[in-house]
Amino acid sequence: MSVARPRRQAGIGERRLLALTALAIAVAIGYVAFQNLNTSAVYYLTPTEAQERKIAPGASVRLGGQVEPGTLRYEPTSRDLRFILTDGVTRTVVVGKGAPPALLREGAGAVVEGFFATDLSFRATQVIAKHDEVYVPPSPSRTPPHRTP
Amino acid sequence: MTTTALRGSSASWIRLSLGLASLAGALVASVMALVWAPPDANQGEVQRIMYVHVPSAWTAYLAFAIVFVASAGWLWTRRRIFDAIAVASAEIGVLFTGLALVAGSIWAKPTWGVWWTWEPRLITTAVMFVMYVGYLLLRSLSADVEGRATRAAVIGVVAVVNIPIVHLSVTWMNALHQLPTVLRPDGPAMDGRMLATLIVSVLAFTLICAWLMVARVALETSRQERVLDARGA
């Protein structure tokens, strides 16, 4: 372009109005997002919530809870994985295929993806280990406590 | 001109110092992260990815906060330096958000057992990443310097809502990503050496961010001058 087109210069008041409008929109979006996502965004259901919502057998769902101590079984030859997922109220038997993640431990958090079978056991297609925000070096005298999600 | 020459030499001096400080910071942080800090009792050596993942996310937040301030500065004053700072920090923020996503994904596979899952922190971070990529695309659509700066600045102001949303997404019901370790109500839940390493890593990343920022702002300023010269203004 050889000749610059005459440009309409926004007045200073107009500019600042634009700045304030943008800020107001940002605050509004933030407020609405917080109010809604905070209560409605759910990554997984607890076994109790799944029971209350009467999830139909075969429907895809994620369950989250704690691996009940003393229930984690994995057979390397048949690759059968079995444990009880609990939220402290409701216990769900989880059945899966394949090695669990190394950090899936008894008493620690877990999230399973899959569906309920007709016998109300849960068929996991994916097992995810949940871990907490505490970081400690290894020590021979104690194993670090896991906390429930 | 003497003033320009002076300004130029002081700018390159700042750049050189920041570059050397970044290099030193990266070296110290690497040694601390790879050698000095102990592995985590549960996660083992893979926990060391945290020393890249957390500082990347912090730097991304910082960069997007600067985009917000600079965008508001442009809308308020129409001084071109603000637009240069906004584009520089948006690019840096996208870079470090990408790095945080990649490092997080590499960590997630051995820890959680999956590379990716549609969990609140991951979703909100992906949205933030895409939004700022959109910001950069929007900028590239037009060569009209003022109009482009104004349109981009409105997005730059609005998109800042991503920062608190991403940061607080872990506190939402039933999420997978762990809660903040350092910024938590009852103090950092972390071994002292790990915490020191993390703090040094965050400082090193912040220095790198400042170094990239100074270089990118200088590039953008000279680009603006070329465009204005071509226009004969």
Q: From CA B201, how far away is CA A4, in angstroms rounded? A: 49
Q: Where are the domains of chain A?
A: 14-42, 47-130
pLDDT in tens, chain B (233 residues): 444 545 567 778 888 999 999 999 999 999 998 999 888 888 888 889 999 999 999 999 999 999 999 999 999 888 999 999 999 999 999 999 999 999 999 999 988 889 998 888 999 999 999 999 999 999 988 878 888 899 999 999 999 989 998 988 888 767 888 888 877 777 777 888 889 999 999 999 999 999 999 999 999 999 888 888 887 75
The residue of chain A with its CA nearest to that of B36 is A137
Say if B98 falls within a structural domain: yes
The answer to whether the CB of B74 falls within 8 A of the CB of B149 is yes
pLDDT confidence of residue A26? 81
Q: Closest-CA residue in chain A for B193?
A: A137
> In the prediction, which pLDDT does A24 show?
84
Model confidence over B175-204: pLDDT tens digits? 888 888 877 777 777 888 889 999 999 999
B111 vs A131: CB contact, 8 Å cut-off? yes
Beta bridge partners of A85: A67, A92
- Give the whole-angstrom CA distance, residue A145 versus residue A71: 18
pTM of the model: 0.84
Rounded to the nearest angstrom, the minimum Cα separation between B17 and chain A is 35
| Selection from A103, A113, A100 nearest residue A63 by Cα | A113
Task: Please give the angle made by the CA atoms of B24, B30 and B35, to the nearest 5 degrees.
Answer: 130
Distance CA B123, CA B172 (A): 13
Of B75, B119, B160, the CB nearest to A15: B75
Q: Do A23 and B157 touch (CB under 8 A)?
A: yes
B4 within domain boundaries: no
Q: Could you tell me if residue B175 is inside a domain? A: no
Phi and psi at B106, nearest 5°, equal -65, -35
d(CA B1, CA A127): 67
Number of structural domains in chain B: 1
C-alpha to C-alpha distance for B225 and B223, rounded to whole angstroms: 5
Fold of A47-130: OB fold (Dihydrolipoamide Acetyltransferase, E2P) (2.40.50)
Cα(B195)–Cα(B197) distance, integer angstroms: 5
**What contacts B141, CB < 8 A, 6 or more positions away?**
B148
| 3-class secondary structure per residue, chain B | CHHHHHHHHHHHHHHHHHHHHHHHHHHHHHHHHHHHCCCECCCEHHHHHHHHHHHHHHHHHHHHHHHHHHHHHHHHHCCHHHHHHHHHHHHHHHHHHHHHHHHHHHHHHHHCCCCCCCCHHHHHHHHHHHHHHHHHHHHHCCCCHHHHHHHHHHHHHHHHHHHHHHHHHHHCCCCCCCCCCCCCCCCCCECHHHHHHHHHHHHHHHHHHHHHHHHHHHHHHHHHHHHHHHHCC
Whether B195 is in a domain gets the answer: yes
The boundaries of the domain holding residue B135 are: 50-169+190-233
- Predicted local distance difference test score (pLDDT) of residue B52: 95
Taking only the tens place, the pLDDT of each residue in A51-94 is: 888 888 888 899 999 998 989 989 888 899 999 999 888 899 99
pLDDT of residue B232: 72
Place of tokens 């690497």: B30
pLDDT the model gives residue B67: 97
| Mean pLDDT of the A128-134 span | 83
B215: in domain: yes
pLDDT given at position B190: 83
* B155 domain-assigned: yes
Rounded to whole angstroms, the Cα distance separating B90 from B92 reads 5
Q: What is the DSSP letter of A108?
A: S
Report pLDDT for A40.
Answer: 65
Residue to test with chain A: of B112, B119, B128, most A Cβ within 10 A:
B112
- Nearest-Cα distance to chain B for A133, in Å, is 5
Q: Give the β-pairing of A80-86 and A91-97.
A: antiparallel
**pLDDT tens sequence across A6-42:** 455 556 677 778 878 888 888 888 787 777 766 666 7
Domain assignment present for B33: no
- The residues in B 74-93 lying below 8 A from A, measured between CB atoms, are 75-76, 78
Residue B228 in any domain: the answer is yes
Q: B152 is written with which tokens? A: 């981009």
The pLDDT tens digits of the residues spanning B102-126 come to: 999 999 998 888 999 888 899 999 9
